[in-house]
Structure 1
Amino acid sequence: MLSYEDVKSRLEGAEQAHLLRFWPELSGEQRGDLLSELSRLDFSGLKNHCRGAAEAAASEPSGADQHMQPVQPELVGSVLKSDKKTQANWEDEGLVQISENRVGILLLAGGQGTRLGVPYPKGMYDVGLPSKKTLYQIQAERLRKLQELADLKHGTQCTVPWYIMTSEFTLDPTEMFFKENNYFSLEQSNIIMFEQRMIPAVTFDGKVILQDKCKVALAPDGNGGLYQALVDNKVLVDMEKRGVQYLHVYCVDNILVKMADPVFIGFCVSKGADCGAKVVEKAYPTEPVGVICSVDGVHQVVEYSEIQPETAEGKGPDGELLFSAGNICNHFFTRAFLKEITQKFVAFEVVREEEFSPLKNADEATVDTPTTARHSLLAQHYRWALAAGATFLDEHGNTLPARPSVTAKDSLPAQCEISPMVSYFGEGLGQLLEGKTLTTPFLLDVKRATELKSL
Structure 2
Amino acid sequence: MTVDYQGLRDTFEAAGQGHIFAFFEQLTAAEQEEFLSQLAQIDVEEATKTAKKALEKHGQPEEACAFEPIPEDVIVDVENNRNRDAWFAMGMDLIRKNQVAVILMAGGQGTRLGSPDPKGCYNIGLPSGKSLFQLQAERIRRLQTLAATDGQDAVIPWYIMTSGPTDKPTRDFFTKNNYFGLNPENIIFFQQGVMPCFTHDAKFMLEGKGKLAVAPDGNGGIYGALHKEGVIKSLKERGIRYSHCYCVDNCLARVADPAFIGYCASRNTDCGIKVVPKSHPEEPVGVVARRNGKYGVVEYSEISAELAHMRQENGQLAFGAANIVNHFFSTEFLERVPSFAHELQYHVANKKIPHIDTTTGEFVKPTKPNGIKLERFVFDVFGHSNAFSVLQVSRDDEFSPLKNAPGAGVDCPETSRAAILDQSRRFIQKAGGHFKDDTIEIEVSPLLSYAGENLEAVSGNTIQRSGILTNLEDIALAL
Separation (CA, whole Å) in 2 of partners of 1:32 and 1:128: 45
Q: In structure 2, which of residues 422, 446, 449 is the aligned counterpart of residue 379 of structure 1?
A: 422
Residue 74 of structure 1: SS of its match in structure 2?
coil
Q: In structure 1, which of residues 288, 293, 313 is the aligned counterpart of residue 289 of structure 2?
A: 293
Alignment CA distance shift 1:435-1:315 (3 Å): closer
Letter in structure 2 aligned against 1:303: E
Q: In structure 1, which of residues 433, 438, 455 is the aligned counterpart of residue 458 of structure 2?
A: 433
Answer whether contact 1:257 1:355 (CA < 8 A) is retained.
yes
Query: C-alpha offsets along residues 142-163 of structure 1, whole Å, 9 cap, x if unaligned?
Result: 00001111226x8753111111
What's 1:444 paired with?
A: 469
Alignment CA distance shift 1:306-1:7 (3 Å): farther
Letter in structure 2 aligned against 1:114: T
Separation (CA, whole Å) in 2 of partners of 1:439 and 1:205: 66
What's 1:147 paired with?
A: 144
Separation (CA, whole Å) in 2 of partners of 1:452 and 1:96: 34
Separation (CA, whole Å) in 1 of partners of 2:152 and 2:6: 61
Letter in structure 1 aligned against 2:74: L
Query: C-alpha offsets along residues 246-301 of structure 1, whole Å, 9 cap, x if unaligned?
Result: 10000011000001111111111111111110000011223222211122332111
Q: How does 1:198-237 map to 2 (within 5 A)?
A: 198-237=194-233
What's 2:402 paired with?
A: 359
Answer whether contact 1:298 1:343 (CA < 8 A) is retained.
no
Relative to structure 2, which stretch is displaced further, 33-42 or 119-128?
33-42
Residue 200 of structure 2: SS of its match in structure 1?
coil
What's 2:154 paired with?
A: 158
Separation (CA, whole Å) in 2 of partners of 1:250 and 1:344: 19
Answer whether contact 1:166 1:194 (CA < 8 A) is retained.
yes
Q: How does 1:336-351 map to 2 (within 5 A)?
A: 336-341=332-337, 342-351=385-394
Q: CA deviation at 1:5?
A: 3.5
Q: How does 1:368-447 map to 2 (within 5 A)?
A: 368-393=411-436, 400=437, 413-429=439-455, 431-446=456-471
- Alignment length (residue pairs): 431
Q: CA deviation at 1:25?
A: 5.3
Separation (CA, whole Å) in 1 of partners of 2:467 and 2:64: 51
* CA-based RMSD: 2.2
Q: CA deviation at 1:366?
A: 3.3
Answer whether contact 1:432 1:449 (CA < 8 A) is retained.
no
Structure 2 stretches of 5 or more lacking a match? 338-384
Is residue 98 from structure 1 mapped to residue 99 from structure 2 by the alignment? Answer: no
Query: C-alpha offsets along residues 15-54 of structure 1, whole Å, 9 cap, x if unaligned?
Result: 2233233446545554443333223222231221221232
Q: In structure 2, which of residues 241, 247, 252 is the aligned counterpart of residue 251 of structure 1?
A: 247
Separation (CA, whole Å) in 1 of partners of 2:231 and 2:37: 28
What's 2:324 paired with?
A: 328
Relative to structure 2, which stretch is displaced further, 154-163 or 120-129?
154-163
What's 1:82 paired with?
A: 81
Q: CA deviation at 1:90?
A: 0.9
What's 2:358 paired with?
A: none
Residue 81 of structure 2: SS of its match in structure 1?
coil
What's 2:190 paired with?
A: 194
Answer whether contact 1:432 1:452 (CA < 8 A) is retained.
no
Separation (CA, whole Å) in 2 of partners of 1:256 and 1:30: 45
Answer whether contact 1:276 1:347 (CA < 8 A) is retained.
yes
Separation (CA, whole Å) in 1 of partners of 2:404 and 2:15: 37
Structure 1 stretches of 5 or more lacking a match? 394-399, 402-412
Alignment CA distance shift 1:141-1:258 (3 Å): same
Letter in structure 2 aligned against 1:333: F
Query: C-alpha offsets along residues 69-93 of structure 1, whole Å, 9 cap, x if unaligned?
Result: 111111112123623xx11111111
Query: C-alpha offsets along residues 375-397 of structure 1, whole Å, 9 cap, x if unaligned?
Result: 1111111111122233323xxxx
Separation (CA, whole Å) in 2 of partners of 1:270 and 1:40: 42
Separation (CA, whole Å) in 2 of partners of 1:36 and 1:238: 27
Letter in structure 1 aligned against 2:111: T
Separation (CA, whole Å) in 2 of partners of 1:440 and 1:56: 60
Separation (CA, whole Å) in 2 of partners of 1:346 and 1:230: 22
Answer whether contact 2:3 2:33 (CA < 8 A) is retained.
no
Letter in structure 2 aligned against 1:80: E
- Percent sequence identity is 42
Residue 141 of structure 1: SS of its match in structure 2?
helix
Letter in structure 2 aligned against 1:72: P
Alignment TM-score, normalising by the size of structure 2: 0.85
Residue 195 of structure 2: SS of its match in structure 1?
strand
Separation (CA, whole Å) in 2 of partners of 1:77 and 1:99: 25
Alignment CA distance shift 1:206-1:308 (3 Å): farther
Q: In structure 1, which of residues 121, 126, 131 is the aligned counterpart of residue 123 of structure 2?
A: 126
Separation (CA, whole Å) in 1 of partners of 2:100 and 2:9: 48
What's 1:34 paired with?
A: 35
What's 2:354 paired with?
A: none
Letter in structure 2 aligned against 1:138: L
Answer whether contact 2:407 2:414 (CA < 8 A) is retained.
no
Letter in structure 1 aligned against 2:161: M
Residue 168 of structure 2: SS of its match in structure 1?
helix
Answer whether contact 2:193 2:225 (CA < 8 A) is retained.
yes
Residue 327 of structure 1: SS of its match in structure 2?
strand
Residue 111 of structure 2: SS of its match in structure 1?
coil
Relative to structure 2, which stretch is displaced further, 184-193 or 214-223?
214-223
Relative to structure 2, which stretch is displaced further, 245-254 or 22-31?
22-31
Alignment CA distance shift 1:326-1:18 (3 Å): same
What's 2:342 paired with?
A: none
What's 2:360 paired with?
A: none
Q: CA deviation at 1:3?
A: 4.8
Separation (CA, whole Å) in 1 of partners of 2:56 and 2:101: 38
What's 1:113 paired with?
A: 110
Relative to structure 2, which stretch is displaced further, 265-274 or 71-80?
71-80
Separation (CA, whole Å) in 1 of partners of 2:407 and 2:199: 29
Q: In structure 1, which of residues 147, 169, 174 is the aligned counterpart of residue 165 of structure 2?
A: 169
Answer whether contact 1:279 1:325 (CA < 8 A) is retained.
yes
